[in-house]
Amino acid sequence: MALHSKGFSQSEIARKLDVNQSTVSRDLIEIRRKARKAIGRYIDEEIPNEIQIYISGLNEITKNLRGILEDKQDPKISIKDKAYVLSLLMQCYGKRIEMLIGGPESNLNAHTHMKTMKIDEKNPYLQSLLKRDSQ
């Protein structure tokens, strides 16, 4: 994979490693398969957890900012400070909207990309290109 990532062709890699080109091809296919599996596992297991942590943190920040705004007993909070807190609160809501927009239907969603890759793998035209590239 290191040689491939440096731009060497499969036949060049085969010569450098003193193996058959078909061995290089099979090894690269296996490496890609394992990488897709690892990425899929990360998407299925880690990203939902990270999103939940993000949501919890954002909720806590929002709650604290609202508490600052609603504290009528604290004379130290100026109008300027309250305006700043409101600005921070709006940023929190904006981040929440960004997260929702970047949800399951977004092109930014890694899971969507994985599905696209799996669909593309079954495409006969793409298969012929991959075969040609591996030769």
pLDDT at residue 18, as a whole number: 95
> Which of 46, 22, 36, 38 lies closest to 120, judged by CA?
36
Q: CA–CA separation, 88 vs 86, rounded Å?
A: 5
Higher pLDDT, 44 or 2: 2
75 is written with which tokens?
């004379």
pLDDT band at 133; cut points 50, 70, 90: very low
> Which of 32, 46, 43, 48 lies closest to 113, judged by CA?
43
What does the pLDDT look like over 26-84, one tens digit per residue? 999 999 889 888 888 888 888 888 888 888 888 999 998 888 888 776 677 788 888 88
Question: Does the pLDDT at position 129 exceed 70?
Answer: no
Asked whether the whole model's pTM tops 0.75, one would answer no
> Which of 63, 62, 51, 56 lies closest to 91, judged by CA?
62
Domain boundaries, the chain: 2-134
2 is written with which tokens?
């290191």
